[in-house]
Structure 1
Amino acid sequence: MTTDTVLDALERAVAAVPDQVFLDFSGKTFSYAEIDLLSTRFAHELHRLGVSAGQTVSTVLDNNVDQVVTWLGANKAGAVWVPLNTAYRGEFLRHQLDDSQARIVITESRYLEHVCEVSAELPDLRLILCRGDAAAEVTARCAVPVEPLDAHAGDDDSAIPVTARPGDLSMLIYTSGTTGPSKGCMLSQNFICHIGRQSLQTVPPRPGDSFYTPLPLFHNAGVDVVTAALLSQTRATIAQRFSLSSFWSEIERSGATNARLMASIFPLVANAPDSPEMKRCFGQLRAVEGAPFPPQLRRVWHDRFGVEFASSWNYGQTEGLRLALHCVGEPTPPEDSCGRVADDCFEVAILDDDDNRVPDGGTGEIAFRPRKPHVMFEGYWRRPDETMKVWRNMWVHTGDLGRLENGYLFFVDRKKDYLRSRGENISSYEVERAFLRHPAVHEVAAHSVHTSATEDSLKITVVVRPDVVVTEEELCTWAIDNVPYFAVPRYIEFRDDLPRTPSNKVQKFQLRTEGLTTTTWDRDAAGIRVSRQR
């Protein structure tokens, strides 16, 4: 199918497998027919509350059925779903609620206070629906009415014909805004189906397959899992959050065969003690995907847990997901690559600063454009100028540096994080990968500090592992033997944590702005010299 909509996919599933379990939230299951009915009722209720086609409905919800019902109900009502990061508060939350022009916000009771605190600054907001008990002292301070979500579940069961077209908006997903105000990526109905199709392309489903993820439904990865299950008419098990102690019991209970995980989850599970559930689940998980997922950890998951397909080969942004990937049965990609270019959907190019193509193997900005309709974002919500900044000369510019070799895409660095020191171009990404191999380094951010008129100097800001003692001089001495001479940092600073956005991305621009602090160690001042000849 060339184009599709989420609502058509739901209609097909209800016709084919109405009683099949669609969603599983910690053992509370919902069939396709039940989700269809709940979302239809809520769509009628949204119409009754004055929500019309093209308007937005925002959520500040944990992983639960109401998050999915709101998404589908809003789309059935012709509205656009705007899921927000539950960590947002203050200006982060105010900006996205104001920018999205949400008329209705649906929030957990635990986040109600954060919404109420900014409600007076939201001219479009008319109503807050609270999931759970709302504290009277909180609602009393709110600038708009707060009512129970349960009172607005709706009771109108009359069918709503699917009128959505593939190019109609399904949702807004906000970028993290590491260099400026976050922007709402407009994602069409077909875009959402496209990322689900790519997930099924990566790991073609078998009878009895089902999906599992603890990742949040306000994130593309969580939406991807739900959509892949919908398109394959199978089950998605969504944990409220990751729990190491219950991971294998949930995998066993749910019968999951395909897991979408990320980051610290991989080593935590890999290094956890044996359990009866883990042993009984050997070989049950057929596929595990996520990033970062280095080869040594993939081997552990294969050998210890019987996982056939463990992959971190993937590249994309909210604006265009899975520009590169790796599929079951294909030759193993180069280890440091992002996988092969998804050239059935996208044309990917490496461009210089004048938007000319860079020869194969050369470094430049990763850019892309679609080969099919509605497989990328439709632009930034209410920001045509920002859309044109990234979409120029008929290419979407990612802001990432990379290279292409034999059809494989290699990520080099964020363009703004690339720096030049000692006459050499330096990838902060490669520097960070190198230092993460040091046993004392838990996290590291490599970035520039301005020290001369012609060049920057390299600084690393490091979070040291708990209960490990290391000095800046020891780390620098290690670097002399383990990285190129020009990548040995002049400056090192230890911190308890790195500055982050609410979506947990490191804010390197803040580190660059802070520059040399009172706790920054200087290699030159310590009398350590690094020679080209070593």
Structure 2
Amino acid sequence: MPLTTADFCHRARAVHAARLAVVDEPGVPGGLGELTYGELLARCDGMVSALDELGVAPGERVAIVSPNAAKLLIALYATTGSGRILVPVNFRLTAAEAQYIVDDAGVSLLLVDPELDERFASVTAPRRIVLDGEQDAALFAPAAAPREWPAVAEEAPATINYTSGTTAAPKGVVLSHRSHWLNAATVGWGFGLTEGDRYLHTLPTFHVNGWGLPLACAALGVPQAIQREVRGPEILRRVAAHGITLLCGAAPVAATIEQAAAALRDAGAAVPGDGVARMVSGGAPTPAAIIEQFERTTGWEMIQAYGLTETAPVLTTNRILRSEGLSPSERARRLAAAGAPLVGVQLRADEHGEILARTAKTMDGYWNKPELYRQAVRADGWFHTGDGGTLEDGVLRITDRKKDVIVTGGENVSSLEVEAVLYQHPDVVDAAIIGVPHERWGETPKAVVVLRDGVSLDEQQLIDHCREHLAGFKCPTLFEQRRELPRTATGKVQKFLLRETGAR
């Protein structure tokens, strides 16, 4: 039996047809409401047939530009399961950036969310369909009877995921059916997914296909509630309404949830999910101070995860059961590490401190860019992550991106270390450290911070705070307040943009 994405759909149909599968975002044109897994798979069957009628053959690329939506899940299941290749496009990109991806991937069919149609009106493909319930009526109509999907080889490409990344050049990461299968299974283990869970899609599904959770949830019959926009109060409302037990997101998502939960507690109200829900944080290391505050305020459990698009994506998870009886501060300190490798993952640090990974589920290459693949994966088969880190007792702790290490006066400064200290300040909700030119020292650390609502920047207060916890050469000498930091879909700060706009 080949390992394919269709396996998860077939099990959902066979075992969980009567269970609730999806609660779509209400009030969106073309939305599908609530569907059982049987109803969801009937629409997948309909899409497979519609792709046949459109002449989109197995191996051809289907791109979709959409926030989280039931139709995005159907497209993921049906296109990959029937041998087509899905190209999920980050809906936060510009039209020109999206057009580059469509052209680079050689897309045959482009699907566009109705709320994004105007913004991406200039993006063209041989076929373009808006998911408004009218243009796409045939594409998402349920089939009258179950149909057999074409056989697919496990080494065949399933998706091409373009890295928005922390640099400016997008690359199409080719992930095979085998990669998807192994990732979904091992992520399910690492996050403790069970048939009793209820999952909220706060993580953008377009990003590395929701880390494999759409597939894992289907296999276990886990209900999936769709959330298109990340806002703390709305997340808590959906957690209460749907009995959510699991969701994912980066540190800024945790911050907006924590602030909304704090407002509830201040008003004397209970926080939904207290003692039940767990959140997986990934994309960039979540500082211990944020973890401790998040768990204390929400009553939820936080799990840390680490990986890259190229590694399909999750490499490590860090889950510490409350039964271990650690103090909140010690628990948060340990949870701030990236964690232990998943099954099928090997990690090591090279002589320069860069983390290398070898996995059973790594990418098959960069689409149309074989030379970049050879640079990332050397002859020995180890993928060079670009992250600095340490491995101790099998646990990975990320120290910094190689290119984000600041060299000031000949001393190396980890931006992550300084950011962690800034997060300890009660007024700081988001922070990034970049190196900017300095006549004497070559580089000097600059802090770009987002402060709690209503708080103004007090540079001396932040300088004093940093000096309490850091050596003098590590402390920022420049500060800038912003309303938000530029981030990728996974929450990684795009520091190249900060350097372009903030070097002074």
Q: Identify the TM-score tier after normalising by the shorter chain.
A: 0.7 to 0.9
Q: CA deviation at 1:42?
A: 1.0
Correspondences of 1:267-416 after superposition (within 5 Å):
267-274=258-265, 278=270, 281-285=273-277, 287-291=278-282, 307=300, 310-320=301-311, 321-327=313-319, 334-342=334-342, 344-353=343-352, 364-370=353-359, 372=360, 375-394=361-380, 395-416=382-403
**Counterparts of 1:173 and 1:29, CA distance in 2:** 28
- Residue 108 to residue 206, structure 1, CA distance change in 2 (3 Å): closer
- Residue 242 to residue 114, structure 1, CA distance change in 2 (3 Å): closer
- Residue 237 to residue 389, structure 1, CA distance change in 2 (3 Å): same
Equivalent residue, structure 2, for 1:438: 425
Contact 1:259 1:289 in 2 (8 A): yes
**Counterparts of 1:96 and 1:382, CA distance in 2:** 12
Q: 1:381 is aligned with what amino acid?
A: W
Contact 1:212 1:225 in 2 (8 A): no
**Counterparts of 1:297 and 1:504, CA distance in 2:** 14
- Residue 101 to residue 114, structure 1, CA distance change in 2 (3 Å): farther
Q: CA deviation at 1:484?
A: 0.8
Q: Identity of aligned pairs, percent?
A: 25
> Which runs of 5 or more structure 2 residues have no equivalent in the other structure?
27-32, 325-330
Equivalent residue, structure 2, for 1:22: 21
Q: 1:369 is aligned with what amino acid?
A: R
Indicate which of 99, 102, 117 corresponds to 2:104: 99
Indicate which of 30, 36, 53 corresponds to 1:31: 36
TM-score of the superposition, structure 2-length normalised? Answer: 0.85
1:91-128 per-residue CA deviation (whole Å, 9 max, x = no partner) reads 22221122121111111222122332243xxxxx2111
Indicate which of 148, 165, 171 corresponds to 1:183: 171
1:319-378 per-residue CA deviation (whole Å, 9 max, x = no partner) reads 113322124659668344211233x3111110135xxxxxxxxxx1111112x3xx1221
Partner SS state of residue 67, structure 1? helix
Equivalent residue, structure 2, for 1:126: 126
**Counterparts of 2:483 and 2:98, CA distance in 1:** 26
Q: Which has the higher contact order (CA 8 A, sep 6+)?
A: 2
Runs of 4+ off more than 6 Å: 330-333
The answer on 1:55 being equivalent to 2:55 is no
**Counterparts of 2:16 and 2:270, CA distance in 1:** 31
**Counterparts of 2:269 and 2:469, CA distance in 1:** 41
- Residue 114 to residue 398, structure 1, CA distance change in 2 (3 Å): same
Contact 2:22 2:226 in 1 (8 A): yes
Q: Which moved more, 1:446-455 or 1:398-407?
A: 446-455
Q: CA deviation at 1:313?
A: 2.4
Contact 2:429 2:450 in 1 (8 A): yes
Equivalent residue, structure 2, for 1:192: 180
Equivalent residue, structure 2, for 1:527: none
Q: CA deviation at 1:159?
A: 1.4
> Which runs of 5 or more structure 1 residues have no equivalent in the other structure?
120-124, 134-146, 354-363, 518-534
Q: 2:3 is aligned with what amino acid?
A: D
Partner SS state of residue 217, structure 1? coil
Alpha-carbon RMSD: 3.1
Indicate which of 465, 469, 480 corresponds to 1:482: 469
Partner SS state of residue 432, structure 1? helix
Partner SS state of residue 416, structure 1? helix
Q: 1:346 is aligned with what amino acid?
A: V
Correspondences of 1:65-104 after superposition (within 5 Å):
65-104=70-109
Contact 1:187 1:377 in 2 (8 A): yes
Partner SS state of residue 460, structure 1? strand
Partner SS state of residue 229, structure 1? helix
- Residue 37 to residue 104, structure 1, CA distance change in 2 (3 Å): same
- Residue 115 to residue 101, structure 1, CA distance change in 2 (3 Å): farther
Correspondences of 1:204-283 after superposition (within 5 Å):
204-206=192-194, 208-220=196-208, 222=210, 224-262=212-250, 263=252, 264-274=255-265, 278=270, 281-283=273-275
Equivalent residue, structure 1, for 2:496: 509
Q: Which moved more, 1:312-321 or 1:472-481?
A: 472-481
Q: 1:340 is aligned with what amino acid?
A: A
TM-score of the superposition, structure 1-length normalised? Answer: 0.81
Contact 1:21 1:32 in 2 (8 A): yes
**Counterparts of 1:448 and 1:480, CA distance in 2:** 18
**Counterparts of 1:46 and 1:216, CA distance in 2:** 25
Partner SS state of residue 34, structure 1? helix
**Counterparts of 2:261 and 2:287, CA distance in 1:** 12
**Counterparts of 1:246 and 1:317, CA distance in 2:** 28
Partner SS state of residue 193, structure 1? helix
**Counterparts of 2:491 and 2:52, CA distance in 1:** 36
Q: 2:198 is aligned with what amino acid?
A: S
1:446-505 per-residue CA deviation (whole Å, 9 max, x = no partner) reads 122233598423222334444223443443344333311110233334445545557764
**Counterparts of 1:281 and 1:516, CA distance in 2:** 43
**Counterparts of 1:301 and 1:504, CA distance in 2:** 17
Partner SS state of residue 15, structure 1? helix
**Counterparts of 2:14 and 2:167, CA distance in 1:** 46
**Counterparts of 1:454 and 1:389, CA distance in 2:** 32
Q: CA deviation at 1:402?
A: 0.7
The answer on 1:459 being equivalent to 2:446 is yes
